[in-house]
Amino acid sequence: MLDHILSIIIFLPLFTSVVFGIFQVDVKVLKIGAFLSAAVTLILVAWLTFLFDPHATGMQFVEHAPWIKNSGISYYLGVDFLSLTVLLLITLLMPPLYLYMKHEERKGYWYNMMLLQTGVTGAVLSLDLVLFYLFWETMLLPIFIMIGKYGNGMHQYNAMKIVLMTILGSMSMLFSILYIGYMHFETVGTWSFALYDLTDIVFNAETSIFLAAGFLLAFVIKIPLVGFHTWMAPAYGSAPTPAVVIMSSIMAKLGIYGIWRFGFGLFEETLIYYMPIIAVLALVGLLYYAIRAITEDNLRKMFAYSSGSHLSLIALGLILTNIYGWSGSLYLIATHALASAGMFIMIGLVYKRFKTVHISELGGIASRAPKFTFFFAFFALSIAGLPGTGGFVAELLIIIGAFERNFWIGLFTATTMLAAMVYVFWMLQRTLFGPDNSTCQFTDLNTRELVMLLPLVIMLILTGIAPSLFTPMFEPQLSVFLESALHALGGVK
């Protein structure tokens, strides 16, 4: 069991959906099955976290089997502090999402969510480049169907747009993967696509720059950094809520994860060449997305831009390559995922009640639904980095890291963070308070909705007031990884 625990975690949802799909079960059974599969994976991941040794170096719970033998492609899974964080997030978010979807009667929705879980989990855990590519591509399919079939607005067009843009990135990554595999063949004499076989290859500088570009393009589109972001707002705007939650909380983070794992893993030296570019894109993004968020009237799109701005911050923290930046980034990955998941669920609830997500058509919720108001404001403020929530700790760490690197970068980062306060407070004032524009009956949160939101709130507060609970889990491995990265970068401080 323990030998194959990672495979079980990845494939349980897929297995459930395929079995249920073949037997064409009733939608009620499907719901229970989906929820159970998510619950079981959550328990398994909790068990895995319990057994995880934070002080050991390298990958744990490794599964390694030959897959496509004559090309050296292997089925290679493993978990370390980085993948564990994202894995925990995925499994934590799925049960609340299924609770949110309780009244969803369309079967395709549930099948796609299960496929999506397999796709993202697999991408996080795979250590073989081709295997990673497989999951990276397949997680796009459920999103494509969900936006195109269940979305709103110009959903067909937007679904095609997100698919084409992300596949453009992954195709460039595929090219780099194939080339690296060939380099391994040329230098060692055997084919291999396993990450830890490929780290030893020494590239010449030019090839390396060009190969790193292939990977970075895929990740930068997925994040998305400014300039590669044209798919983001339309896709977030027309996607149904569960898909938006996964896109902003997990899939965007996978872009960061990719830079961390494969960028720093394969191209440590070369990354220096791209660091200024990424840093500039991230800084411009911070400001640009914040301004777009301030001017946006559609709540979904507003938080899409807000999400972009925070992901730019995470990317910045990663590129700073110091202990503050890195731990801040990792921390922000987790807390932003929780907060934005909560926020997009709240927006989904707003839509269910008012049939609109436009700020100009909302108002006066506070007087009628106090519980709703509390949760809405809590998630919005924790996205903005309210002291006492995890986001505050993470943002503080990144800002400290930025100051340590360069005074001006630090100053710029700190100032733009204020912009987040602007759009969040202004939005809260207009939606929750303000004049009451609507005529429909606004019901407060019911028990089911409370149950699905409470875990997120508890996690956010815990990460905010007691970071020391979580730091021992990732700190040792993080600092080892950072040291090796710094070593490769030539002692850049």
Partner 1 sequence: MMMQFLYALPMAIVVLGAIALMLLSNSRITLHRLNFIAVGFLLLSLIVQFFIFGETQSAYLFENIFGTAFILDDFASIFDAMFTIGAILTLLINNDYFKSRRYFAGEYFSLILFSVFGMMVLSHAHELVTGFIGLEIASLNIYALVAYHKIRKVSSEAMMKYVVLGSMTGAFYMLGTALIYGAVGSTSFTEIANYITSNDLQNISVLIVGASFIMVTVLFKIGAVPFHSWVLDVYHGAPYPITMFMASTFKIAIFALTLRLYLVMFSPINSFWSEILQVVTIMTLLGGSWLAINQTLVKRMLASSSIVHTGYLLIAISSIGLGSELAAPAVMFYLMAYFLSAVGSFGILSFIATKKKKQMTYDDFKGFAQRRPYMAIMMSIFMLSLAGFPSTIGFLGKFYIFTAAIESGQILLAGLGILTAFISVYYYFKLIAMMYFYESDETQNRFPVGISTVLIVIITLIVIWGGIGTSLIPYVPGADGFMDFASNAISSLK
- Nearest approach in angstroms of CB 278 to partner 1 is 23
CB nearer to partner 1: pick between 169 and 342 = 169
Binding positions for partner 1, rule: CB under 8 A: 65-71, 75, 130, 133-134, 137-138, 141, 144-145, 148-149, 155-156, 159-160, 163-164, 167-168, 171-172, 174-175, 178-179, 181-182, 185
User: What is the 3-state composition of the chain as percent helix, strand, coil, each rounded to the nearest 5?
Assistant: 75, 5, 20
CA distance 252 to 259: 12
Query: 380, 362, 369, 336: which is closest to 449 by C-alpha?
Result: 369
- Nearer to partner 1 among residue 32 and residue 68 (C-beta): 68
How many angstroms separate the Cα of 180 from the Cα of each of 44, 212, 214? Answer: 34, 10, 11
CB-wise, 116 or 333, nearer to partner 1? 116
Give the SS3 label for residue 289.
helix
Which C-beta is closer to partner 1: that of 182 or that of 408?
182
Long-range contacts of residues 62-67, Cβ cutoff 8 Å, at least 24 apart:
63/3, 63/4, 63/6, 63/7, 64/194, 67/128, 67/131
CB of 148 to partner 1, least distance (A): 4
CB of 86 to partner 1, least distance (A): 21
Q: CA-to-CA distance for 423 and 292, rounded, in angstroms?
A: 10
Token pair, residue 43, equals: 């328990």
User: In angstroms, rounded to a whole number, what is the distance separating the alpha carbons of residues 9 and 87?
Assistant: 10
Q: Would you say 141 or 291 has its CB closer to partner 1?
A: 141
CB of 134 to partner 1, least distance (A): 4
Alpha carbon 29 to chain centroid, angstroms:
29
Q: Between residues 170 and 382, which has the closer beta carbon with respect to partner 1?
A: 170
Supply the DSSP symbol for 201: P
* Shortest CB 205 distance to partner 1, Å: 17
Q: How far is the CB of 161 from partner 1 (least distance, A)?
A: 11
Residue 115 beta carbon to partner 1: minimum distance, rounded to whole angstroms: 11
Calpha distance 198→159 (Å, rounded): 35
Alpha-carbon distance 33 to 295, whole Å? 42
**In angstroms, what is the minimal distance from the CB of 186 to partner 1?**
8
Nearer to partner 1, 55 or 69 (CB): 69
CA distances from 471 to 43, 232, 253, 429, 441 (A): 22, 32, 19, 35, 45
Which is nearer to partner 1, 49 or 138 (by Cβ)? Answer: 138
Tokens of 3: 């030998």
